[in-house]
Amino acid sequence: MTTAQRGLVASAQAYRDKMFKLLGDGNPIEVLAQTATTLADIVDKHSAPLLRSRPFEGKWTPNEVIGHLTDSEWVYGYRLRLILCEDNPTILGTNQDSWVAGLRHNESEPSELVEIFRVLRQFNLTVWRRTLPADLERTGQHNERGPESLGVMLRLLAGHDLSHLDQITRSYLINTFKPLRACELCKLA
Binding-site ranges for Ni ion (CB under 5 A) = 186, 188
CA–CA dist 75, 82 (Å, integer): 11
Distances (CA, A) of 6 to 13, 126, 153: 11, 35, 20
Q: Is 103 helix (H, G, I), strand (E, B) or coil?
A: coil
What residue number has its CB nearest to Ni ion?
186
Q: Closest CB to Ni ion among 80 and 186?
A: 186
Looking at the Cβ atoms of 76 and 128, the one nearer to Ni ion is 76
Indicate the pairing of strand 90-91 with strand 139-142: parallel
Provide the minimum distance between the beta carbon of 188 and Ni ion in the complex, in angstroms, as a whole number: 5
**Least distance (Å) between residue 155 CB and Ni ion:** 15
- Under 8 Å between Cβ of 98 and 146: no
Q: Of the two residues 43 and 165, which places its CB atom closer to Ni ion in the complex?
A: 165
Beta-bridge partner residues of 139: 149
Q: At closest approach, how far in Å is the CB of 70 from Ni ion?
A: 11
Nearest CB to Ni ion, comparing residues 31 and 188: 188
Q: How far is the CB of 164 from Ni ion (least distance, A)?
A: 6
